[in-house]
């Protein structure tokens, strides 16, 4: 059940900063606190597209998508269309999200909620593309460990089963031949692949975001400056709201982050929790890509990419730069581009180490003033990561 008491206390910390709701805002009670939706022009974009007919594959820890045994479907996804996915961790057709032990929050359900939570149901908030379908593809363990092999298999599955967009809020330190091949395969089949740059605060984009075919997404705070944890550099394509992760962790995340529903404490226990991370930023860009595909289904993945970058709001130094890439994603601006520019070639990326498959992969979670604001301590996460195969 929703964690209403503590959530109300957390929201009080940001109530003074919440901007007025759009005139056409849905009746979702947390919509007023979803500052990220207004920052990327979602209310205006909904006048053109809500993502109907589009499938977004969420490659993550799974999604709370079905009522089966101890599992429960997330209330915020009750009216969201879900299509069949696969569990590449347990090897079955039930990619349900399993929250980690210790009352911590799950990752995959939160990303799916950011992308396509039901709008206008008088519950929680709204997703970026509320009429898009979610394809749950489980490639990570509850403790966030995973392998390049599983992620690559998940991406190929998504491409073969009708995904239009693949959202990967996952970051690894080293490239992988298997994953590179899967990215090339997916994009060749028209899938828009979006990934987080990582949350180490380094001048280096993590993998798979560093592959030229992937839209690499960093995070900005509410004041539109680069979030201190967000990786940046020559491989960064675009940024989206994440929050700075400051103001203390309420137990439900930092209140300056992005709020959405996820599991917390058990397979049938839900909360409206905050996350400040490039994971959240990548999920939003995945949602905007779904809006674009829904509005113009004939667009190629290269044209979707070009529309996103050409319409971004310039931040920082004039023109594309290492801190913000092309700038802040702008959904309405991208949709207003009736004749998309010719597909731009992928930007040159810096030379990276020879590809291998020996490093770990984990969700792009971030650290804040109260410690890691999403799922465990970063140091512990790195100690426990599994070696990719």
User: Which residues are tagged catalytic?
Assistant: 60, 107, 279
220 three-state secondary structure: strand
Integer Cα distance of 247 and 112 in angstroms: 25
Number of C-beta neighbours around residue 66 at 10 A? 14
Beta bridge partners of 168: 195
Integer Cα distance of 108 and 253 in angstroms: 16
Residue 68 has φ and ψ, to the nearest 5°, of: -150, 120
19 three-state secondary structure: coil
**DSSP 8-state secondary structure symbol assigned to residue 109:** H
Integer Cα distance of 92 and 100 in angstroms: 20
Integer Cα distance of 180 and 143 in angstroms: 24
User: Is the link from the previous residue into 208 a cis peptide, with omega within 30 of 0?
Assistant: yes
Asked if 124 contacts 117 with a C-beta cutoff of 8 angstroms, the reply is yes
Count CA atoms closer than 13 A to 12's CA, side-chain side. 7
From 260, 167, 144, select the one nearest 214 (Cα to Cα): 167
The number of angstroms, rounded, from the C-alpha of 99 to the middle of its chain's C-alpha atoms is 17
Say which residue the tokens 């009708």 belong to: 162
Residue ranges of alpha helices (H) inside the chain are 4-12, 35-39, 42-45, 108-116, 148-160, 177-188, 278-295, 301-310, 331-336, 378-384
Rg, C-alpha atoms of the chain: 18
Integer Cα distance of 387 and 204 in angstroms: 21
Say which residue the tokens 């003033």 belong to: 369
Check the CA dihedral 243-244-249-255 and report its sign.
negative
Integer Cα distance of 60 and 205 in angstroms: 19
The number of angstroms, rounded, from the C-alpha of 89 to the middle of its chain's C-alpha atoms is 20
């Amino acid at each position: 059940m929703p964690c209403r008491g503590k959530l109300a206390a957390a929201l009080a910390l940001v109530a003074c900063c919440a901007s007025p709701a759009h005139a056409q805002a849905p009746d979702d009670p947390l919509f007023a606190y979803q500052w990220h939706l207004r920052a990327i022009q979602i209310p205006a974009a909904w006048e053109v597209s809500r993502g109907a007919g589009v499938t977004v594959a969420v490659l993550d820890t799974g999604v709370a998508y079905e009522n089966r045994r101890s599992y429960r479907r997330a209330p915020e996804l009750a009216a969201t269309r879900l299509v069949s996915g696969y569990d590449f961790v347990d090897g079955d057709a039930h990619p349900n999200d399993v929250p980690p032990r210790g009352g911590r929050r799950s990752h995959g359900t939160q990303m799916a909620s950011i992308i396509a939570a039901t709008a206008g149901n008088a519950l929680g908030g709204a997703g970026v593309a509320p009429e898009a379908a979610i394809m749950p593809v489980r490639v990570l363990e509850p403790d966030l460990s995973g392998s390049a092999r599983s992620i690559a298999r998940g991406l190929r599955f998504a491409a073969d089963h009708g995904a239009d967009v693949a959202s990967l809020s996952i970051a690894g330190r080293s490239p992988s031949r298997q994953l590179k091949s899967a990215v090339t395969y997916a994009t060749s089949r028209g899938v828009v692949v979006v990934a987080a740059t990582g949350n180490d605060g380094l001048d280096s984009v993590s993998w798979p975001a560093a592959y030229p075919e992937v839209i690499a997404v960093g995070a900005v705070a509410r004041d539109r400056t680069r979030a201190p944890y967000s990786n940046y550099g020559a491989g960064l394509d675009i940024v989206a709201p994440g929050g700075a992760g400051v103001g203390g962790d309420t137990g439900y995340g930092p209140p300056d982050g992005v709020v959405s529903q996820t599991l917390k404490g058990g397979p049938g226990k839900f909360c409206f929790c905050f996350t400040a991370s490039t994971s959240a930023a990548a999920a939003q860009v995945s949602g905007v890509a779904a809006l674009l595909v829904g509005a113009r289904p004939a667009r190629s993945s290269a044209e979707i990419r070009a529309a996103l970058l050409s319409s971004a709001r310039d931040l920082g130094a004039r023109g594309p730069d290492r801190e913000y890439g092309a700038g802040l994603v702008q959904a309405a601006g991208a949709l207003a581009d009736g004749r998309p520019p010719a597909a731009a070639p992928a930007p040159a990326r810096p030379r990276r180490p020879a590809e291998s498959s020996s490093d770990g992969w984990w969700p792009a979670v971030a650290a804040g003033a109260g410690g890691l604001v999403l799922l465990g301590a970063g140091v512990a996460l790195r100690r426990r990561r599994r070696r990719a195969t």
